[in-house]
Amino acid sequence: MHSGPKSREIFERVKQFIPCGVNSNFRYWGDNENLIVKRGKGSYIWDEDGKRYVDYRLGFGPVILGHAYPEVVDRIKEALEMGNIFAMTNKYEISVAEKICNLTGVDMVRLANTGTESTMHAIRIARAYTGRNKILKFEGHYHGFNDYTLWNCYPPISGTGYRRSPILIPQGSGIPLSISNLVISLPFNDEELLEKRVKENWGDIACIIMEPLQGNTASIMPQKGFLEKVRELCDEYGIVMILDEIKTGFRIARGGAQEYFNIKADLVTYAKALGNGFPVAAIGGKRHIMSEIAPGKIALGGTYTGNVVSAAAADATLDAIAQGALEKVDAHGKKLMEGIAKVFKKYSVPHVLTGPPSMFGIVLTEKNVVKEYRDWAESDHTTYEKIIGKLFEMGVMPDKDSREPWFIAASHTDEDARFVIDAFEKAVKDVLG
C-alpha cells in the first residue's frame, strides 16, 4: 500500500511543518503511504498523482451526500454573500435548529463546531443537571478528543485486564491520570455488568455516554434489549443518557439511532453527516434539561458556533436528507454487503458483517457474533489490511483499519458497486486464494 511519487515528495515537505504531516493523528498511515488529496467529486477522490479512488472513508463519515455536492455548494455560495459571523442569531441557525428537531425528535438544540466539542458540552450539561461528576462509558467507544472520554477507546487488550473490572487506559500521554477517578469503563452489551456497576455507583454517575452502535469499532451493534436496559437504569437512578450520534446521526436513518432503534435519549450529540463535511455539530435533547442552559447556570458556547457557512451547509444537507438521500445510501450499502458476503462465502473466509448498510463493518473472525471491542480486538486484522491494500491498488478506498466502517454516500453509483465487488473478489483471491 504505497502512495505515488508526487504524494511522497509533497509529504516529505509537509512533515517539516505539520507533525506527522497530518492535522489529525487518525489520518497518519505512514510516510510512504499517506496520500495528498487533490480534489473530490461525488463518490470519488483524486490524489496528486492523478489516481482516482472510490471513497468509502468519506472523511471518517461526514460526507453523506457526496464530495462537492452541488446543492450544498450552492447554498454556501448564496450564504457567503451575507457575511459569516455576527455573534447574533442568523437565519441559517434557526432553520437548522428547526430541521434537526423535526427530523430527530429532540426538543431543543444548540449548535457547536465539532463532535469533540458537542460531547464535552453534553457531559457538562449532564453534570450540572445531576450535580454528579462521574461518567460511565464503554470500551471501544470514542467520543472525541476531550480528556474525560479518551479512556479505553482503543486499548491494547493485554493492558485492560479482566473484562468484569477493566483497567482504565488513556489514549496516549498528556491526559491527567487523576481524571480516571471520574470515569467508569465497561464492555459494551453486558447488561448484567452494567446493572451491577450502576447500582454500586449511581450516586456519583452524571451520565452514561455511548455510541448507539460502535461506529468506532467495526459498527458492532447493540444486542437486543441493551439500549433499553441503559434507558431503564438511567430512569431509575436519575442518570442522564447521552447518545453520541456523531457517526450515526443523519446517516443510519433521518432521525438517526433514536429512530433506527426506537429509543429516546436525554441528550444527543450530532456532527459529521449533519454538514456533509463542513464543521458543524449539535447538542440536542429533552426540553427539561436543554432549557437549563443559560448564562450563570451552565456554561456553553463558542465564537464560531452557528457561523453562516457551516449552518448553510447543514441547512442544505438536512434538506437533501429530508428529501430521501438516505434511501440511495442504504441501497448502495446493501449491494456491497451482499456482494462482499458472497465473495467471502466463495473463498470460505470466516467473517461477520456488522452494522447498518450506510456504515457497515467487516470483522474477520471465527465467532458467529461480535458483541464488544474485545471480540474485534481478537479478530484477524492482518488479513483485512492485506485485502484493503489490494483494493487501494485497484482504486477503492475504505479505511485500512477494520475498526472504521465502510461509509456510504448518496453519490455512490451502481457502477461503483459493480466495480468494487469485482475488485473485492480479486483482492480476496490474491490474498487468500
Pairing relationship of beta strands 134-138 and 205-210 according to DSSP bridges? parallel
Q: Which stretch binds ligand PLP (CB under 6 A): 92-100, 126-134, 228-236, 241-249?
A: 241-249
To ligand PLP, the closest distance from the beta carbon of 336 in angstroms equals 21
Sheet (strand 37-41) strand order? 37-41, 44-47, 52-55, 396-397
CA distance 355 to 214: 8
Q: Give the closest residue to 202 by CA, choosing from 170, 230, 225.
A: 230
Select the residue interacting with ligand PLP from 144, 187, 222, 405 (CB under 6 A). 144
CA distance 62 to 273: 4
Total residues binding ligand PLP (CB under 6 A): 15
Select the residue interacting with ligand PLP from 47, 48, 139, 244 (CB under 6 A). 244
Q: By CB neighbour count within 10 A (0-12 exposed, 13-18 middle, 19+ buried), where does 27 fall?
A: middle
Residue nearest ligand PLP (C-beta atom):
115
Select the residue interacting with ligand PLP from 134, 247, 254, 386 (CB under 6 A). 247
Show the binding pattern over residues 262-301: x = contacts ligand PLP (CB under 6 A), - = does not: ---------x------------------------------
CA distance 167 to 8: 40
Q: Is 244 a catalytic residue?
A: yes
Q: Is 229 in the site for ligand PLP (CB under 6 A)?
A: no
- H/E/C letters for each residue in 304-320? CCCCHHHHHHHHHHHHH
To ligand PLP, the closest distance from the beta carbon of 56 in angstroms equals 15
Q: Is 404 in the site for ligand PLP (CB under 6 A)?
A: no
Select the residue interacting with ligand PLP from 7, 34, 90, 114 (CB under 6 A). 114
Instruction: Report the run of H or E that residue 241 belongs to, with start and end.
Output: strand 240-244
**Beta pairing partners, 308:** none
Q: Is 216 in the site for ligand PLP (CB under 6 A)?
A: yes
Q: Is 134 a catalytic residue?
A: no
Q: By CB neighbour count within 10 A (0-12 exposed, 13-18 middle, 19+ buried), where does 246 fall?
A: buried
Q: Is 55 a catalytic residue?
A: no
Of 216 and 402, nearer to ligand PLP (C-beta) is 216
- The residues annotated as belonging to the active site are 142, 244, 272
Contacts with ligand PLP, residue ranges (CB under 6 A):
60, 114-116, 119, 142-144, 211, 215-216, 244, 246-247, 271
